[in-house]
Amino acid sequence: MTAWAGLYYVWQVARFRVTDTIVVHAMGERIESHDGDYLAHAWLDRLGLHAHALVHPSGEIERMRDDSKIAYHARGHNSTSLGVEVLVPGVHTYATFAAAIAEPGWVGDRQLDALVKLVRHWRDTHGIRQIVRHSDISPGRKIDPGAGFPWAELIARVTS
C-alpha cells in the first residue's frame, strides 16, 4: 500500500467511523523507565499510543483525543471504540503495576465516580452497545484493568 493509499484509508475510516464500544484500560499514573519516569500521557505519546481519556486518582478527567478521532489503544478495535485509561496511583514498573491492579481498592471513590460519569456520557452520546475490559478483547496478552478493578460496580452504576 502506498503512503497516499494508506492516508486515504485512514481518512475513510475516520470519516465513516461507527463507535459502539468502550474499552476500559488501566496503567500507572507515572511509569518508571530506565531513563526516568513519565506521566501517563507522556508515556503513551512516547509509545505512539493514545486513549481518548485518562481518569486520574483525583477524579480529574484528562482528554487526549477527541471522540471523533481514532485513538491507538486496543489492537483491532481502535476504529470502533473509545478508550479510557484508569490511572493507578503512584510510580510503577510493569511488575508493581501488575501487582497493584490485582488487589481490590486501587480505584478510589472520586476516580470511580468520574469514570461512571464519562462512560454514561459516551454511552448516551455515541449509542455505545458494549463496555469491555482490555483483558476481555486481548486475553492472554493484556491483564488490565485487573482483578482488583470494581468491574461489577462500574457496570451496575453505568446501567442503572
Point out the least confidently predicted range of 14-23, 62-71, 128-137: 14-23
Q: Over the stretch 125-150, which tens digit does the pLDDT of each residue have?
A: 999 999 999 999 999 999 999 999 99
Q: Tens digit of pLDDT for each residue in 84-111?
A: 999 999 999 999 999 999 999 999 999 9
Domain locations along the chain:
18-159
User: b/e string for 23-61 if b means 16 or more Cβ within 10 A?
Assistant: bbbbbbbbbbeeeeebebbebbeeeebbbbbbbbbeeeb
Q: Looking at residue 16, what is its pLDDT?
A: 54
In order of 20, 39, 114, 121, the CA distances from 144 in angstroms are 20, 18, 18, 22
Please give the CATH superfamily to which domain 18-159 belongs.
Peptidoglycan recognition protein-like (3.40.80.10)
